[in-house]
Amino acid sequence: MAGKGGGAWKVAYADFVTAMMAFFLVMWITAQSKQVKQAVAHYFNYPSASKRGTQDGPPPPGGPGSPGPGGPGAEGPEGAGKLGDIQGIPRIDLGIPRSRPSPPQGNAKPAAADATKGPKANKPSLLAVHDGDRRMVGTVVLFDEQSAELSDAAKARLKTLAPLLAGKRNKIELRGHATRRPLPAGSPFQDTWHLSYARCLAVRKYLESQGIEPERIRLSQAGPFEPKTIRADAESQAENSRVEIYVLAEYVEDLVGTPEERAQRLKTP
């Protein structure tokens, strides 16, 4: 059959080899650690994020760029990119790149250098596609419903978190929340927006006292419009008076100046 140009056996053999490769790949994956399995699953769930170096979905467990040295959040084969079980802080994975971008080599020009000059050349855009589940490393600090004062428990949590955030250049976002119930008469706050902002200020001040650089901190408020729960009982409602702390996949230096100015800083010793 081969002498007469028949090639059906070649197709069958190729299918057999492909099937065997897939079989051995599955066997290899099943023998790996949980972190490796989740990382492989993340790649197939979010292939575009892996190609662009961004996080369109949940970051792979054990990913690079842990939020701080030592402890459960330490960098290394088992702890890289994780903030782990500290006083009730859930283990969350952090998809922040470990290495910084390399400066342009030779006569290479920044991509933005060839863009059209003038005001019309600046077209700010923001693409934020998510289902409300913010997959970033961080924690939550709770407040009394009508208060912006940090409790002892909140201070203890922030004091434990601060060493894991120290020494990095990632931006930290503090997002303030409040309940939907109206403020009582005589409240020092004008409305729940001001209450949320005051809570962010209290957290910011405490983090700065623990050595976190102020330029890393970003404040935002959701007021009463992003409640964690809509259940009416007091225990559930207590979860809505909070400040969420996120470590972002953004560097301080990457948000200062135009792309041309940033490229120049990288080339300058």
Last residue in a domain, options 93, 110, 127: 93
Residue 241 pLDDT > 90: yes
pLDDT score, position 6: 63
Domain count within the chain: 2
85 and 142 co-located in one domain: no
Nearest residue to 181 via CA among 191, 168, 171: 191
Verify that 242 and 170 share a domain, yes or no. Answer: yes
Give the mean model confidence (pLDDT) for residues 190-216: 97
- Verify that 156 and 76 share a domain, yes or no: no
Kindly state whether residue 84 falls inside one of the protein's structural domains: yes
pLDDT score at 65? 39
Provide DSSP, 61-111.
TT-S--SSSSGGG-SSTTTTTEE--BTTBPPEE----SSPPPPPPTT---G
For residues 106 and 193, the model is more confident at: 193
Mean pLDDT for 24-41 is 79
Instruction: pLDDT band for 36, please (50, 70, 90 cuts).
Output: confident
Domain that holds residue 77: 34-93
Q: 248 and 148, same structural domain?
A: yes
pLDDT digits (tens, 9 = 90+) for 153-163: 999 999 999 99
Q: What is the pTM of this model?
A: 0.53
Q: What is the CATH number of the domain that holds 216?
A: 3.30.1330.60
Has residue 115 been placed in a domain? no
Average predicted confidence (pLDDT) for the chain: 74
Q: Please indicate, yes or no, whether residues 169 and 248 belong to a single structural domain of this protein.
A: yes
Specify the pairing of strand 170-177 against strand 217-223. parallel
Could you tell me if residue 62 is inside a domain? yes
